[in-house]
């Protein structure tokens, strides 16, 4: 007999960068390396991904680093 398990909690967040004016969203599961951070735009099909399959610590460090970057540099850092 298989015991039922509670699903792992997902965490989501959004932050608007003051200097560049971009909105960055992220989501993932604590203690797993499945975090993703991306630039929010009008369409869902075209997302500029900043980080994919990384730890929560790397996403938070990335957010701190791009806080002071201009829009062109942040978009250059992202992969389409």
- Separation between Cα atoms, residue 76 and residue 80, nearest integer Å: 10
pLDDT at 44: 64
pTM of full prediction above 0.95:
no
The answer to whether residues 11 and 63 touch, using CB atoms and an 8 Å cutoff, is no
pLDDT digits (tens, 9 = 90+) for 7-41: 888 999 999 999 999 999 999 999 899 999 999 98
pLDDT at 27: 95
pLDDT digits (tens, 9 = 90+) for 40-65: 986 666 778 999 999 999 999 999 99
Q: Write down the domain spans for the chain.
A: 11-77
Q: Take residue 22 and report the two structure tokens written for it.
A: 């971009």
């Amino acid at each position: 007999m298989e015991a039922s398990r509670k699903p792992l909690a997902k965490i989501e967040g959004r932050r608007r960068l003051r200097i560049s004016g971009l909105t960055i969203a992220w989501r993932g599961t604590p203690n797993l390396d499945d975090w993703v951070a991306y630039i929010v735009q009008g369409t869902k099909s075209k997302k500029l991904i900043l980080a994919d399959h990384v730890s929560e610590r790397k996403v938070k460090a990335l957010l701190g680093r791009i806080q002071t970057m201009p829009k062109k540099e942040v978009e250059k850092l992202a992969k389409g």
